Amino acid sequence: MKINKKLLVITTIIILLPVVVGLVFWEQLPETMATHWGNDNEPNGWTSKAFTVFGIPAVMAALHVFCLIVTYADPKKSNIGAKAIGIVYWILPAVSLAVMSATYAYALGIGVNIGMICCLLMGIIFIALGNYLPKSKQNYTFGYKIPWTLNSEENWNRTHRLAGWLMVICGFAFIINAFVLSEWILAFCFAAAVVPMVYSYILYKKGI
């Protein structure tokens, strides 16, 4: 398996498309732009127009390339699965378009619910990951890479079946949270992150 250079170029261009949009609306954009919002859906972090338009997409593009390099450097990359690798290709392009579109809309005075957009995006991502996580085999990039799962194939499979269900549940919780914006969503994230690791350790103690 080698990096799909054509797909890499396409997805990187998509990540950088917001730069073009920013240049088109450059004169209308404020010199300081809101780039972070709190649970109350109010901005609590700002960056300069130049960094927002050029810097944020550039950082995402660099992270995109880095994630793909790390994924393909995995000695067990063939165990990850084509669909899971597809997520690696497309997750940051989707994030870039959604986040930057919302950021520009807010800066231009267009009514947009940032919290709703972010929660819906996270919900879709979690559901997608939850569906493909149980199908991945042991590897060092995608999944819960802890000593007990990497030491036992059975431990890996059981842990990731549970993790898949929890991530799907968390994804739907995010979608619901898009309409209520409650801090309780953090409890679902914590459960999706920690419970599979605890479960994996319990299986290890049982000799699995």
Give the pLDDT score at 91: 93
pLDDT at 186: 85
pLDDT-derived band of residue 114, with 50, 70 and 90 as boundaries? Answer: confident
| pLDDT in the model for residue 29 | 95
Domain with 185, as residue range(s), is 113-208
Give the end of a domain, one of 112, 133, 148.
112
Number of structural domains found in the chain:
2
Question: What is the mean pLDDT of the segment spanning 164-190?
Answer: 89
Mean pLDDT, range 108-135, rounded to an integer? 88
CA nearest neighbour of 138 among 152, 126, 119, 128: 152
User: Is there a contact between 87 and 73 (Cβ–Cβ < 8 Å)?
Assistant: no
Q: Say yes or no: 108 and 133 in one domain.
A: no
More confident site: 122 or 41? 122
pLDDT at 177 over 80: yes
Do 29 and 129 lie in a common domain?
A: no
Same domain, 23 and 124: no
Q: Both 88 and 165 in a single domain?
A: no
Q: Indicate the SS3 state at residue 142.
A: coil
| 93 contact partners, CB below 8 Å, separation of at least 6 | 11, 14, 15, 64
Average pLDDT of the chain to the nearest whole number:
91
**Any residues with CB less than 8 A from the CB of 99 and at least 6 apart, and which?**
56, 117, 118, 121
Q: At which of 85, 112, 139 does a domain end?
A: 112
